[in-house]
Structure 1
Amino acid sequence: MLPAWLTKVSEPVLRATRAPSVDALQGELLRRWGSSEVWRLSYGLNSVIGKRGTDSQSGEAESYQKYVIPLGLPAPELIHSSDGVLVLEDVGRATLEQEPAAEGFLAAAELLAGIRSRRVDGPSGFPPEHVEEIADRIGRISFDLTPLTEALAALDRDAPLAVVHGDFVPKNLVTDGTRWTAVDWPLTYLAPHLADLYTLVRDAVALGHDRGPIVARYVDVAAADPFLVDRQLLVGGACFCLRALAFVIAEGFRIIPESKDWIDPLLSELEDLVEQLGRHRFVALRP
């Protein structure tokens, strides 16, 4: 069985796989949910990834043109895009979700350090005023977010802007046995925080791994100030929670009914992070 939308991109798929016809292709459904459907399309030893995205997942081609291609980010090659359907290089068959070894999380920290090393020009995709704007859309936050706004403003002055993948989690980290690649780039934006490292560590800890070695590997490879990284992690975690809550309210209820169960845990996580920021009351290091 093959996806119905394959007709939109059949020619580039056939060229890339060297298949004589669409009927000769083999299709393997890798992921399907409300706003994304991902297939491996293969002929013999040749394969590509076909992806259809809607709603929040519809901007991946734009992210490729704006960030991935110009910056040479470690992502699958974009072979073709048309009408919301992408044809991408097949970069491997194992994800960190499928093989969640400690070594994989350390490799992902190194991969992230490489992504963050690409210096970019603004504007930030998450300026301080964004905090209250998103909170207003969520409408369920009863605690004061001022510590987050202040910490983000200070971080804007103390840390350079860099690419935020936006969904740097084990299911989106793929290996071919030799190299690791980040896939799924539609949520990419620029910011000085480390939401990506936060989500990587968050999932690692949930699986029983230690936080320390992963953060230390990032600090070492990035040659970063560990105290600044701690701040970037707290701010990044809070920004991740805000964006996740906004997604659930705006889109999640409709495409992932069970996402309503994410709200209370995310609110608690956000409140804890904001409380930590309030205790530190970070100020800018530079005027």
Structure 2
Amino acid sequence: MVPGWIPRDVVLEVTQAPAVEAVHTELLRQWGSSEVWRLSYGLRSVIVKRGTDTQAGEDAVYERLVVPLEMPAPRLLYGADGVLMLEDVGRVTLEQEPTADGFVAAAALVAEIRGKPVDGASDFPPGQVKELATRIGRIDFDLEPLVDALERLHRDAPLGIVHGDFVPKNLVTDGTHWTAVDWPLAYVAPHLSDLYTLVRDAVALGYERGPIVARYVEAAGADPFLVDRQLLVGGACFCLLALAFVVEEGLRTIPGSEEWIDPLIAELADVVEQLP
């Protein structure tokens, strides 16, 4: 049965089903802050989402960044009142079928995202480091090296789009092309937290870091020494944002997320210690 919060008229329009009752439904994800379904009729299928808290406002991200910059993202078919209907770009994620080739292909996807020209100011200025640390309230080591490194990066590296949740579950393939899904956390910054999280997950699964970073450098035509700096700063920024999410939202919506805090703080400390 199609959930009641999904507009019936839009369902019929995009699936071309004769009646809502003819539409097949598949629940893909249901968390405290998001719910995702696949709706299909015959060979037509779409993805429908609704989110709250940090998962809300994806339609605004589409309007501001994804659509104008032609990001490698699912096409937006409908968006209103926190409900999005999106093109179905594939049924297999990198989380479901992790491979070395998949992670390398995803690195090229990061380069494609970063290659889009961005105007305007950074959404993660150096001052945000201390703001996030204050909100988290559990960090007992000096973050000044990160502030300095982020200031230098704003001088030395161009701004680009950061997907913000570039992890295997959000990387989908149709067997030929890879697409990044779930864009509500996207923002503009000079660092490479997307490449950092991709490498982080690959290494955790036993894959080598080198080919993934090398593929990004090749695809982006980037300076490998600058990329190393962008990776470290991106890793620290990822940890800060993840900690802020857990403290401010995850503890309410995700059972067991309290256990993520200490490892994230330890990871943040390790990355900050490596900053030049």
Under TM normalisation by the shorter chain, which class is it?
Answer: over 0.9
SS where residue 257 of structure 1 aligns?
coil
SS where residue 117 of structure 2 aligns?
coil
- C-alpha contact (below 8 Å) 1:164/1:188 kept by paired residues: yes
How many angstroms does 1:59 deviate by?
1.4
For structure 2, the residue ranges without an aligned partner over 5 or more in a row are none
Aligned match of 1:204? 202
CA distance in 2, matches of 1:225, 1:59: 34
Give the TM-score taking structure 1 as reference length: 0.95
How many angstroms does 1:30 deviate by?
0.6
CA distance in 2, matches of 1:238, 1:182: 22
Which residues in structure 2 correspond to 1:26-37 (within 5 Å)? 26-37=24-35
CA distance in 1, matches of 2:256, 2:146: 28
**Number of residue pairs the alignment of both structures matches:** 276
CA distance in 2, matches of 1:122, 1:188: 15
How many angstroms does 1:15 deviate by?
1.2
Residues 248-268 of structure 1: per-residue CA shift (max 9 Å, x gap): 010000000211000000000
Identity of aligned residues (%): 70
Aligned match of 2:134? 136
SS where residue 4 of structure 1 aligns?
coil
- Indicate yes or no: 2:256 matched with 1:255: no
How many angstroms does 1:122 deviate by?
2.3
User: Residue 12 of structure 1: which of 4, 10, 13 is its match?
Assistant: 10
Q: Which stretches of structure 1, 4 residues or more, deviate above 6 A after TM superposition?
A: none
- Indicate yes or no: 2:222 matched with 1:235: no
CA distance in 1, matches of 2:2, 2:250: 27
Aligned match of 1:188? 186
Give the TM-score taking structure 2 as reference length: 0.99
CA distance in 1, matches of 2:9, 2:186: 28
How many angstroms does 1:10 deviate by?
1.9
CA distance in 2, matches of 1:154, 1:147: 11
AA matched with 1:248: V
- C-alpha contact (below 8 Å) 1:12/1:79 kept by paired residues: no
SS where residue 163 of structure 1 aligns?
strand
CA distance in 1, matches of 2:4, 2:233: 42
Residues 124-174 of structure 1: per-residue CA shift (max 9 Å, x gap): 110000000000000000000000000000000000000000000000000
- Indicate yes or no: 2:56 matched with 1:46: no
CA distance in 2, matches of 1:258, 1:61: 29
AA matched with 2:224: P
Name whichever of 143-152 and 10-19 sits farther off: 10-19
- Indicate yes or no: 2:158 matched with 1:160: yes
CA distance in 2, matches of 1:111, 1:266: 26
How many angstroms does 1:11 deviate by?
1.6
CA distance in 2, matches of 1:60, 1:34: 16
AA matched with 2:251: F
- Indicate yes or no: 2:3 matched with 1:3: yes
AA matched with 1:3: P
User: Residue 106 of structure 2: which of 105, 108, 112 is its match?
Assistant: 108
Residues 95-132 of structure 1: per-residue CA shift (max 9 Å, x gap): 00001011110110011100100010121110000000
AA matched with 1:267: I
CA distance in 2, matches of 1:194, 1:265: 21
How many angstroms does 1:12 deviate by?
1.9
AA matched with 2:3: P
CA distance in 2, matches of 1:14, 1:111: 33
How many angstroms does 1:14 deviate by?
1.2
Aligned match of 1:265? 263
AA matched with 2:177: R
Aligned match of 1:285? none
For structure 1, the residue ranges without an aligned partner over 5 or more in a row are 281-287
Residues 200-241 of structure 1: per-residue CA shift (max 9 Å, x gap): 000000111000000000000100000000000000000000
Query: RMSD value over aligned CA atoms?
Result: 0.7
